[in-house]
Amino acid sequence: MKDYLEFEKPLRELEERIEKLAGSGSTKPAVEEEIRKLKARLAQTEVELYSSLTPWQRTQLARHPQRPGVFDYVSAFCRDFIELHGDRAFSDDQAVVGGFGRFNDRSIMIIGHMKGKTLKERMQRNFGMPNPEGYRKALRLMRLAEKFNRPIVTFIDTPGAYPGIGAEERGQAEAIARNLLVMSRLAVPIVSIVTGEGGSGGALALGVADRVLMLEHSIYSVISPEGCAAILWDNPAKVQDAAAALKMTAKDLRGLGVIDEVIPEPTGGAHRDTRMTAERIAKSLAGHLSQLGELSPADLLARRDQKYRAMGAVSEPPAAS
């Protein structure tokens, strides 16, 4: 059974009518003609709906409970994936997964947030919100990749780092900051892909990369729309205004130069066709890894440094005469 979002109600009604008619077993020409008309109307409605999504609607798609996760993509275009566990200091955080795998006959290090799909899986993965040990596990794997000269590919999908007392006591802020520092200086290519929700420092801790890509309906922001609405307006009803003001969609961020590419999704979102989404990610990833592989470590680091220094540039208004 499909999970429909609130704004997808028109699609649900049409699909249910089609299923009811198709399930009747009738072969009458009138019934078949009605099904044909409904399918044509459904296709047109999908085009109209998904071509004019608001930032808040894209946020809902980015958080869709059936949205593909890192293991869905790894199983689609990687071979011989071996998951590695633990930070060698405290525990094995299930909200962050990683390991070596083969992509286009080349060994790469894959690291990503993991939300889970069922309630049981989400509780096990802490709803994709890592503790400090999750980021320290990711850091251990990144250093391992650098040791063996392997490219790093990260998949970002988290509401943010876990804000619990235990996480703070174990150094959540330091763990995130350490990742930012080390990723900025790793002498191997890094490609980050925002596949769902990229929230705050919890996302950025896996996002300091040479190339940052985003799926079409993913989001990437310093704060959630709910948090922004609470801080700026103290009004939950302003969440749609906050989503628009944050400029957190893939299109907005591409225009601002924060990301390098927007990867198109199938009509209706990545969860509607995981295979097609994986193929598009794989094609984009192959191109970027090939380009980055031609650079020397010195050039790689210099360009990475320039990339982040160029962000957030402002122009001064002309002086008053």
Q: What is the pLDDT of residues 185-215, one digit of tens each?
A: 999 999 999 999 999 999 999 999 999 999 9
The per-residue pLDDT of the chain, averaged, comes to 92
Q: Is residue 251 predicted with pLDDT exceeding 90? A: yes
- Cite the DSSP H helix spans in 148-257: 165-169, 172-183, 200-204, 225-232, 239-245, 250-256
What spatial distance separates the first Cα and last Cα of the chain, rounded to whole Å? 66
**CA distances (Å), 91 to each of 43, 71, 113, 120, 156, in order?**
48, 21, 16, 20, 21
Task: Give dist(CA 260, CA 291) in Å, integer.
Answer: 13
Report pLDDT digits (tens) over 209-245. 999 999 999 999 999 999 999 999 999 899 999 999 9
- Do residues 180 and 274 touch, judged by C-beta distance below 8 A? no
Residue 39: Cβ within 10 Å count: 14
Task: Give dist(CA 160, CA 192) in Å, integer.
Answer: 16
- Phi and psi at 316, nearest 5°, equal -80, 140
Which amino acid type is present at position 219?
Answer: I
Cα dihedral: 265, 269, 272, 277 (round 10): 30
Q: Which residue, among 211, 241, 220, 212, has the nearest Cα to 229 in the 3D structure?
A: 241
Report pLDDT digits (tens) over 259-290. 999 999 998 899 999 999 999 999 999 999 99
Residue 263: Cβ within 10 Å count: 20
- Do residues 56 and 94 touch, judged by C-beta distance below 8 A? no
For the chain, percent of residues with pLDDT exceeding 70: 98
- Do residues 94 and 128 touch, judged by C-beta distance below 8 A? no
What does the block give as tokens for 92?
A: 């094995």
The pLDDT, as a whole number, for residue 255 is 92
Q: DSSP letters of 24-77?
A: T----HHHHHHHHHHHHHHHHHHHHHHTS--HHHHHHHHT-TT---HHHHHHHH
The pLDDT, as a whole number, for residue 35 is 83
**CA distances (Å), 287 to each of 8, 142, 155, 191, 261, in order?**
34, 21, 17, 11, 11
What does the block give as tokens for 172?
A: 């959540």
pTM of the model: 0.90
The pLDDT, as a whole number, for residue 1 is 52
What does the block give as tokens for 109?
A: 């290090």
What does the block give as tokens for 308?
A: 């982040």
E strands, the chain, where? 79-83, 96-103, 106-113, 152-158, 190-199, 211-215, 219-221, 261-263
Q: Which residue, among 273, 265, 254, has the nearest Cα to 53 in the 3D structure?
A: 265
Task: Give dist(CA 293, CA 186) in Å, integer.
Answer: 14
pLDDT band at residue 321, thresholds of 50, 70 and 90?
A: low
Which amino acid type is present at position 195?
Answer: T
Task: Give dist(CA 111, CA 88) in Å, integer.
Answer: 17
Task: Indicate the SS3 state at residue 262.
Answer: strand
